[in-house]
């Protein structure tokens, strides 16, 4: 099947100047890119004038919940949501029930993915058995099964000696350690950022030190082991500074943030919306600005959704009892455009870099590119279209979005995956 996309603005992370051109897709591959293409046998023509054509995204922080919590999300619904949000490749977190902590668990998940997945799913495994922080998993065996990363995401390994051994074995097997950096002796039973809002609302606060002190420890251990480390879901300026200094020292550290950390703040919790109850919590406006600046400066390497689906029963209850987490696969690109592109904090190649080249570099996988000879995996995106986030528009099984009711700028119109129009 021949498809011709006309007059779209093509954005690749390596090309500093986007170009307007036609794209010919033939038998699933990008056959030609040129200012003007005329060709016989075109079966579908797409007018992309005024639209952005960009590679599909890589989201390296997604909770699919299967196995064990299919009431929240499944491989089928989660990967449909990923494609709807433009992410053709996602990294699945291992905090399922039971946790992905053995070769057998990985093999079972691979079988489920073959049967049910609509997008490409990479697998991360736990650092410790059952994510209990007591005994290391078989890191070598997991690496042999093709696991791309190890993480106890949702928990931090408190035992520093155990964590050091994890870094040493990860280095030996050339996989990256993703750290959920949280000292629970400091966060305790907090439910939002410790500060003005927690005091006014009469709720237990989570100090920023619960994050940044553990970030510092994790980086110190990785530096000692000379291992690669990736810090997940950064939320505060102190963590940014620690990572900046570590990069200057040559530590092999990368970091991510999620759209809610640069678009919302603790003040957005004054309505007690439990969809905005997130871990780490929404911080101050100053922290949100620091996160945006760190994205611009490259201290934070990439953007990931931290897609964390929960049922209505787990969210539509008292704030203190509600689960932490928000879904984000289907809103992450539009939020980034609204908060970063529209206000000229980043340009389009920079944004594409945060969603494609950088996660590819961290995971050591090929970078998505719009290039002749490559499989057609791309997004047709209308950067001017405004839309309101509504529950009934999600492919995700859960609807707990912290952006419900919010007007966003930019809408995905079409996604091509594996050479096919989705």
Beta carbons within 10 angstroms of residue 70's beta carbon: 16
306 is catalytic: yes
- For residues 177 and 96, what is the distance between their CA atoms, to the nearest angstrom? 18
Question: The tokens of 74 are what?
Answer: 């499944």
Nearest alpha carbon to residue 256 among 203, 310, 307, 309: 307
Candidate list 158, 218, 306, 347, residue with the active-site label = 306
SS3 track for the chain: CEEEEEEEEECCCCCCCCEEEEEEEECCEEEEEECCCCCCCCCEEEECCCCEEEECEEEEEECCCCCCCCCCCCHHHHHHHHHHCCEEEEEECCCCCCCCCCHHHHHHHHHHHHHHCCCEEEEEECCEHHHCCCCECCHHHHHHCCCCEECCCCCCCCCHHHHHHHHHHHHHCCCEEEECCCCHHHHCCCCEECCHHHHHHCCCEECCHHHHHHHHHHHHHHHHHCCCEEECCCCCHHHHHHHHHHHHHCCCEEEEECHHHHHCCHHHHCCCCHHHCCCCCCCCHHHHHHHHHHHHHCCCCEECCCECCCCHHHHCCCCCCCCCCEECCCCHHHHHHHHHHCCCCCCHHHHHHHHHHHHHHHHCCCCCCCCCCCECCEEEEEEEEEEECCHHHCCCCCCCECCCCCEEEEEEEEEEECCEEC
- For residues 57 and 88, what is the distance between their CA atoms, to the nearest angstrom? 6
Contact of 364 with 230, CB cutoff 8 Å: no
Beta strand pairing call for 52-55 and 378-388:
antiparallel
Half-sphere exposure of 346 (CA within 13 A, CB side): 30
Beta strand pairing call for 253-257 and 229-231:
parallel
Catalytic residues: 306
């Amino acid at each position: 099947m021949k498809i011709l996309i006309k007059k779209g603005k093509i954005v690749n992370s390596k090309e500093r100047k986007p170009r307007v051109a036609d794209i010919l897709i033939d038998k699933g591959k990008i056959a030609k890119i040129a200012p003007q293409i005329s060709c016989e046998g075109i079966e579908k023509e797409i007018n992309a004038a005024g639209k952005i054509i960009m590679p599909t995204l890589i989201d390296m922080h997604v909770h699919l919940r299967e196995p064990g919590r299919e009431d929240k999300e499944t491989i089928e619904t989660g990967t449909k949501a990923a494609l709807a949000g433009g992410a053709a490749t996602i990294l699945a977190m291992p905090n399922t029930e039971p946790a992905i902590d053995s070769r057998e668990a990985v093999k079972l998940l691979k079988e489920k993915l073959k049967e049910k997945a609509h997008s490409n799913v990479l697998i991360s495994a736990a650092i410790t058995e059952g994510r209990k922080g007591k005994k290391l998993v078989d890191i070598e065996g997991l690496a042999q099964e093709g696991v791309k990363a190890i993480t106890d995401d949702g928990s931090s390994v408190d035992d520093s000696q155990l964590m050091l051994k994890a870094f040493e074995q990860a280095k030996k097997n050339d996989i990256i350690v993703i750290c959920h950096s949280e000292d629970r002796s400091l966060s305790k039973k907090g439910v939002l950022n410790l500060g003005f809002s927690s005091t006014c609302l009469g709720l237990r606060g989570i100090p920023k030190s619960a994050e940044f002190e553990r970030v510092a420890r994790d980086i110190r251990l990785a530096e000692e082991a000379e291992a690669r480390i990736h810090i997940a879901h950064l939320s505060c300026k102190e963590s940014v500074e620690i990572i900046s200094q570590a990069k200057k020292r040559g530590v092999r550290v990368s970091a991510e943030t999620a759209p809610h950390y640069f678009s919302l703040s603790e003040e957005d919790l004054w309505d007690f919306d439990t969809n905005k109850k997130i871990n780490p919590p929404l911080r101050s406006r100053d922290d949100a600005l620091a996160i945006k600046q760190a994205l611009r400066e490259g201290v934070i390497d990439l953007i990931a959704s931290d897609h964390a689906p929960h049922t209505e029963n787990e969210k539509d209850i008292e704030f203190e009892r509600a689960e932490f987490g928000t879904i984000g696969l289907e809103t992450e690109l539009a939020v980034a455009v609204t908060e970063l592109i529209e206000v000229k904090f980043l340009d389009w190649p920079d944004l594409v870099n945060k969603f494609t080249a950088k996660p590819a570099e961290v995971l050591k996988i090929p970078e998505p590119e719009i290039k002749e000879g490559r499989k057609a995996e791309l997004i047709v995106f209308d950067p001017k279209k405004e839309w309101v986030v509504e529950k009934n528009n999600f492919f995700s099984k859960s609807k707990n979005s912290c952006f419900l009711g919010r007007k966003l700028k930019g809408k995905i119109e079409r996604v091509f995956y594996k050479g096919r129009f989705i």
